Structure 1
């Protein structure tokens, strides 16, 4: 019997599989996923041994378990799979026409940055923690439905009151869409990426939210009073208050230009 020829395509196949396995390891590092995957591998190896030894009853039981393994994996890894697919969709700029189809007809007013900047600056001076999500084109209903509906026009006093330490709505994120504060006390997905240990829960949540949407997320640190902005999976920390208006407006202008380009294309 001769050896099976090893081709260049086989080499590419091995490299791609190795890259995927490494990506899965990096993505699931620090979660319970590696333990679950290890358990699945152990069960599969046990099934192979049982099958080899012709243990019909045990082989049948394990075979039934493995046959529904794909469905079980989808259920167990549902949050990770959703985050993974969202991240892929966010990065495929060539397929933005799909997003345009589903967002057609939506006419959201532009967000006024001034009251948001003023509120963040004043909260930074008093060391009041804050987490503000400024929605763009991504649908944030899954986030807002988990919070408390507000539906009020953006204003500096309202934002400060929402994040006041004794306020029942201060814990969580405020979501802004257009010129309205849509909801408060919203729970954001925390990033699974490797970030510095100095990052607190708000900063991790801001990065996580920016990884799955095109939203702009503002963070005011309760410990240092520093102001940060997260967008497209990146966090810009310790923005000087005098430069906050300019920085935030630049992010908003980028998304405004994209909306105008979409309207022209339509």
Structure 2
């Protein structure tokens, strides 16, 4: 068998067998799963933002007007509504522009999560955070820093003083300086940036913690409702604590705080395995 004959045989097999099988049996379910995954991820991403309320508002209004125009046989109005449905995609881009920007940024971070540049940036951010916590601990400057992880904190950020700043030790210290107008409540860190200050957090209702300070109750409260990491400096003692998954480690050393943040932020895939170690790793107030 010559090379030409072999090539023709393979081409014929590809065109007559493989492609029809792919188009008939593989492509449709694969396409359905991809669409389902995209829709799920979009709804998951927008569910904690005000943008989803705007989207549902548009859809309900258009459906209501469509039903009325169909009942009253308003043909011109129906044509206008059909055009509006086509423009809805463009309207979504405009309305959801901040959320889409963040989604694309997260997508980029997903593909670069194990890159040297990403790891280095995360290490530098951790160093800045730990430096700020250490200095505020020495000065007994009360502080509360929340680091967003998988569960979004958009509702809290939207009601806080919104910022867009690179993580910096001196900036964090200046925010929590007692005479600063933003020193009360929490600072929110999202996607490697300081995105909010003066953020009000939910307080834990655990009876054991009711007698403790507001910062510790807020740190524990946000860790009970989300997977965020909350870092606290006690104004009375200067002790550094962190809360995660509804548990709090109190009076931790600089080395232990650094180790914890590196484990949680530098290798997200190992977080589930590390959580099994948290049970005996946490103390109590």
TM class by shorter-chain length?
0.5 to 0.7
Using the TM superposition, give the Cα deviation of residue 137 of structure 1 relative to its aligned residue in structure 2, in angstroms.
1.0
1:189 aligns with 2:202: yes
Using the TM superposition, give the Cα deviation of residue 204 of structure 1 relative to its aligned residue in structure 2, in angstroms.
0.5
On the 8 A contact 1:136/1:255 being kept in 2, the answer is no
On the 8 A contact 2:264/2:271 being kept in 1, the answer is no
Matched with 1:27 is none
1:146 aligns with 2:159: yes
On the 8 A contact 1:172/1:186 being kept in 2, the answer is yes
User: As a proportion of its length, which structure holds more helix?
Assistant: 2
CA RMSD between the two structures: 2.5
The correspondence of residues 24-39 of structure 1 with structure 2, limited to 5 A, is none
The correspondence of residues 101-140 of structure 1 with structure 2, limited to 5 A, is 102-103=44-45, 106-107=106-107, 109=109, 111=122, 112-140=125-153
Matched with 1:176 is 189
Larger radius of gyration: 2
Matched with 2:251 is 238
Higher RCO by CA contacts (8 Å cutoff, separation 6 or greater)? 1
Using the TM superposition, give the Cα deviation of residue 244 of structure 1 relative to its aligned residue in structure 2, in angstroms.
1.9
Gap runs ≥5 in structure 2: 1-39, 46-102, 110-117, 273-285
Using the TM superposition, give the Cα deviation of residue 245 of structure 1 relative to its aligned residue in structure 2, in angstroms.
0.9
Normalising by structure 1, report the TM-score: 0.56
Gap runs ≥5 in structure 1: 1-97, 260-266
Using the TM superposition, give the Cα deviation of residue 226 of structure 1 relative to its aligned residue in structure 2, in angstroms.
0.5
Normalising by structure 2, report the TM-score: 0.53
Taking the aligned partners of 2:243 and 2:249, their CA distance within structure 1 comes to 6
Query: How many aligned positions are there?
Result: 163
Query: Do the aligned partners of residues 239 and 209 (structure 1) sit closer, same or farther apart at CA in structure 2, a change above 3 Å counting?
Result: same
Taking the aligned partners of 1:250 and 1:166, their CA distance within structure 2 comes to 34
Taking the aligned partners of 1:143 and 1:211, their CA distance within structure 2 comes to 15
On the 8 A contact 1:135/1:175 being kept in 2, the answer is yes
Using the TM superposition, give the Cα deviation of residue 187 of structure 1 relative to its aligned residue in structure 2, in angstroms.
0.1
More deviation, 195-204/158-167? 195-204
Query: Do the aligned partners of residues 256 and 119 (structure 1) sit closer, same or farther apart at CA in structure 2, a change above 3 Å counting?
Result: farther
Residues 40-59 of structure 1 deviation map (CA, whole Å, 9 limit, x = unaligned): xxxxxxxxxxxxxxxxxxxx
